[in-house]
């Protein structure tokens, strides 16, 4: 079975394609962020988790040519995000839909 690639946008840093396996790892981090926000977690921990997502995509994804703009399935915010901003973005199941992962 051919692996389906997902387009991920890192705000301000471009687009990458990632495999379903990497998407699952991203979803785990996404879920950790949602739990952190529900208990009014620490802003530095939030930023650490967002940096982890960005590193995972950059390390394991394939950069999309900047001349091409493709519809992204996921948009990861900048690593300087605040708790207030994150609460608006990581609502419900977070930035990654469970349907996308399954």
pLDDT tens for each residue of 60-101? 999 999 888 889 999 999 999 999 999 999 988 999 998 898
Residue 84 lies in a domain: yes
pLDDT in tens, 22-39: 999 999 999 999 999 999
Considering only CA atoms, which of 88, 86, 100, 102 is closest in space to residue 7? 100
Residue 40 lies in a domain: yes
Residue 42 lies in a domain: yes
Residue 30 lies in a domain: yes
pLDDT at 2: 41
For the cut 70, the answer to whether the pLDDT of residue 1 exceeds it is no
Residue 99 lies in a domain: no
Cβ atoms 88, 39 nearer than 8 A: no
At 41, the pLDDT band (50, 70, 90 cuts) reads: confident
Structural domain span for residue 19: 6-92
What share of the chain in percent tops pLDDT 70?
97
Residue 100 lies in a domain: no
> How many domains does one find in the chain?
1
Residue 98 lies in a domain: no
Residue 77 lies in a domain: yes
């Amino acid at each position: 079975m051919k692996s389906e690639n997902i387009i991920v946008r890192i705000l301000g840093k471009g687009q990458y394609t990632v495999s379903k396996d990497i998407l699952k790892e991203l979803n785990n981090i996404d879920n950790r962020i949602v739990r952190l926000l529900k208990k009014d977690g620490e802003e530095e921990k939030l930023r650490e988790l967002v940096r982890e997502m960005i590193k995972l995509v950059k390390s394991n994804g394939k950069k999309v040519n900047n001349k091409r703009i493709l519809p992204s399935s996921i948009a990861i915010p900048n690593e300087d995000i605040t708790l207030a901003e994150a609460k608006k973005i990581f609502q419900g199941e977070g930035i990654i839909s469970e349907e996308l992962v399954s």
